[in-house]
Structure 1
Amino acid sequence: MQLVKWSYMRRYNIRAIFDQFPNSPVIFRKIRDYYFVYTVHWTAADAPIGIKELEEMEQLLNRELGTELQYLYRKMSYSS
């Protein structure tokens, strides 16, 4: 999966489009120092989006924005 494009929205949200789900924009919100999926505007033109895809989307966006380390540290401390 690849991040096709992203843009800032109001109230610190980010709207992103991914190549596997081009018709379903994903809205991210910032929490602490990283971004997480807030909502997906899913359309029937795309396949259903699973949890693994959502996690991959989070990692791709955080990598693009330079917050991947904070995101990964959150994942490590959450699983402990």
Structure 2
Amino acid sequence: MRLLSYSYLKKGKMKAIYDRFSDSQVIFCKINGYYFVYYVRWSENDPIVVTQDLIEMEYLLNEEMDTLDIYLTRKRNN
């Protein structure tokens, strides 16, 4: 999966588009210094989004935003 584009929204949120889900918008929220998936505006033209896809989306956006170190050390991974 590749991150195609992203843009900033109000209140610290971001919108991202990925190549596997090009018709769906993924909304991220920033908390504790890293971004996590807040919700997906899913399109029926795209495959169903599963948990592994969400994890990969978070990884790619945090890598792009240079917050990957914080993301990898969050409580859920400990």
Shift of 1:26: 0.1
Look up the match of 1:24. 24
Relative to its length, the structure with more helix (as a share) is 1
Structure 2 unmatched ranges of 5 or more = none
User: 1: distance between equivalents of 2:73 and 2:62?
Assistant: 12
Moved over 6 A (4+): none
Q: Normalising by structure 2, what TM-score?
A: 0.96
Give the match's secondary structure for 1:44: coil
Give the match's secondary structure for 1:43: coil
Give the match's secondary structure for 1:60: helix
Shift of 1:79: 3.9
How many residues are matched? 78
RMSD, aligned CA: 0.8
Give the match's secondary structure for 1:24: strand
Look up the match of 1:47. 47
Structure 1 unmatched ranges of 5 or more = none
